[in-house]
Amino acid sequence: MSLKVLFNALKNQSKNYSGKKKRHTIKTQIMLDLTSHRACQLAFSDGHTHDFTLFKESIGYSLPQNTLVFVDLGYLGILKFHENTFIPAKRSKHHPLTQEDKQLNREIAKIRIEVEHFNAKFKTFQIMAQPYRNRRKRFELRAELICGIINHEMM
């Protein structure tokens, strides 16, 4: 009898368990409007979900093609779905970056730093910075409320 309970616990564990982080995690993706510096959309997923998979499932197909998107290297396949995407160039072992690639990476980093600043404001709320110990279904509501508070401060 206890073996069945253990099996069910292990079966349910795999939903939110991140093998990389070795704990139960929830991934949050924040999309910012860089003209107003406000969060315009949030997406949530289990911790083991890849960034690009979360992007495809949440807004990948509904994003207008004329929108400029600045992403990090976690979204390498995004150019197949969205053409107006800027992704940093990556050097390989035998091919170092050219000066043009380095300059483009700096320009992308200057724009993406605003996203990192928003993430820092998001983490000033201790409920988002520390392990979340409440019910998982309430996490999305609380994250959206915190983004609303930050958006209100930005006005």
Are 29 and 58 spatial neighbours (Cβ–Cβ below 8 Å)?
Answer: yes
Is 32 within a domain?
yes
The count of residues in the chain is 155
Confirm if 17 and 24 have CB atoms less than 8 A apart.
yes
- Which tens digit of pLDDT belongs to each residue from 74-133? 888 888 888 888 999 988 889 999 999 999 999 999 998 988 898 899 889 988 888 888
User: Could you tell me which residues come within 8 angstroms of residue 15 by beta carbon, excluding any fewer than 6 positions away?
Assistant: 46
Strand 85-86 with 69-70, pairing? parallel
DSSP output for 117-130: HHHHHHHTSHHHHS
Residue 7 domain-assigned (yes or no): no
For residue 58, is pLDDT > 50?
A: yes
Task: Provide the domain limits for residue 79.
Answer: 18-154
Domain count, the chain: 1
Over range 43-67, report the average pLDDT: 81
Match 């993430």 to its residue by tokens: 119
